[in-house]
Amino acid sequence: MLSHSLAALDDRIRGKTLTVGIYGLGYVGLPLALRFSEVGIRVIGFDIDAEKVKKLNAGQSYIERLTPDRIQQARAQGFEATGDFARTKEADALIICVPTPLNRYREPDLSFIVNTVESMLPHMREGQLLSLESTTWPGTTDEVLAPRLRSRGLVPGENCALVFSPEREDPGNPHYGTKDIPKVIGGATPTCLHLGQGVYRHAIQTLVPVSSTKVAEMTKLLENIHRSVNIGLVNEMKIVADRMGINIHEVIDAAATKPFGFVPYRPGPGLGGHCIPIDPFYLTWKAREYGVNTRFIELAGEINHYMPQWVVGKVADALNERGRAIKGSKILVLGLAYKKNIDDTRESPSVEIMDLLQAKGAEIAYSDPHVPVFPRKRDYHFDLQSVPLTADTIGSYDGLLLATDHDGFDYALIQRHAKLIVDTRGRLSGDNVVAA
């Protein structure tokens, strides 16, 4: 039987009269906020970036795929953004969607989660549900969030609810949006799970309940470790094939004709995005607590982490064959986003490659139709704007590096006027193209 405060929450969930608070309005939090708004639920969005808050409240968007029309429609439904955490008390469901990066030692950095929760706690009340969506190591919800709630007299399953439901956003995927992607959810107690499912059921078509928050946390890590390991394998195969003079993309296409037992993964210049380059190390770190050495996962990480350096080596070799050194060469990087047709540059290998090339004395520029100005980053800064691709600009560079194969690039124009193209995506072929 539910306590009075949780029974009241359950009533608001069932009647769709609840208010949802989304903490972190980035590539995960903002689409989720818009989805709840679309189904008629009031949403308050919290973010410490005052510029984001200002833009959203003015009906503007800072994420390419989320049009201003969608922001304005959400505003008309009552959506508002704020940096005032005191308004936490107004929300019934509190959903945390903040980054979980690695520190300089490749160890989990939970500071964004902890700081967010600490800012919320003084304003939390009985009868609220707290959901963590940020990817993290198994045990975070139980070991980091639950004790902080209890320190305020909030006991999961008794007078509040606590769940973990990992985000599964895939920016740029035309087939699966927020509402279409099945959502895994685990609760601190059966009551927590029941209430969490009630909240998410309004916005997500398919829910996948699991037995605990730890299972939900491990599920997200397995999904991304699976991809990391397979990408590491195909990247290593690419290096071997390159040494043997074999086109790895032709090999993959041929192998993919097998109707069973093979899933094609594509090599590239390195891993990018907010998940695959980072998430595996959350598990390797936690596994050490249990005396387990995750050698397989770490090896894949080493291979993927090495790829930008390998690409720079290919650029150096290609220039050298044409009588030029990297130092003093003008190099145009095509594609700053971490994958094609989006504006997301988080952990993009393009940025690391630019840094490595510049460190070797190259004069660096980039072109990306989705990223007009180089964004603010913690570890890198380039005072650059996207270069328009014309016959004259293309021909003015000693080499072009195709790092992200956006469909918006005019590849015929590029190939016609480029002196040299180093292609990391297997998109081009010709006398002026070098595969990397």
Nearest to residue 116, comparing CAs of 20, 219, 207, 47?
47
* pLDDT computed for residue 175 by the predictor: 86
* pLDDT computed for residue 223 by the predictor: 95
Looking up tokens 């590096």 gives 401
Q: CA 334, CA 425: separation in Å to the nearest integer?
A: 11
Pick the CATH number of 212-436 from 3.40.50.300, 3.30.499.10, 3.40.50.720, 1.10.20.60: 3.40.50.720
CA angle 421, 423, 426 (to 5 degrees): 135
Residues 45 and 56: beta-carbon distance below 8 Å? yes
Q: CA 340, CA 326: separation in Å to the nearest integer?
A: 26
Residues 413 and 401: beta-carbon distance below 8 Å? no
* pLDDT computed for residue 124 by the predictor: 98
Q: What is the pLDDT of residues 170-215, one digit of tens each?
A: 888 888 889 999 999 999 999 999 999 999 999 999 999 999 999 9
* pLDDT computed for residue 188 by the predictor: 98
* Fold agreement (4-210, 212-436): yes
What's the Cα-to-Cα distance from 415 to each of 316, 330, 391, 429, 431, rounded to whole Å? 20, 17, 10, 9, 10
Global confidence as pTM: 0.94
Q: Give the chain's residues under pLDDT 50.
A: none
Residue 330 has a CB neighbour count (10 Å cut-off) of 15
- The letter for the amino acid at 382 is F
How many residues would you count in the chain? 436
User: Per-domain residue ranges for the chain?
Assistant: 4-210, 212-436
Query: Catalytic residue positions?
Result: 275
* pLDDT computed for residue 163 by the predictor: 98
C-alpha gyration radius of the chain: 24
CA angle 375, 381, 331 (to 5 degrees): 95
Q: CA 127, CA 198: separation in Å to the nearest integer?
A: 14
Domain 4-210 has CATH 3.10.520.10: no
Q: CA 413, CA 178: separation in Å to the nearest integer?
A: 36
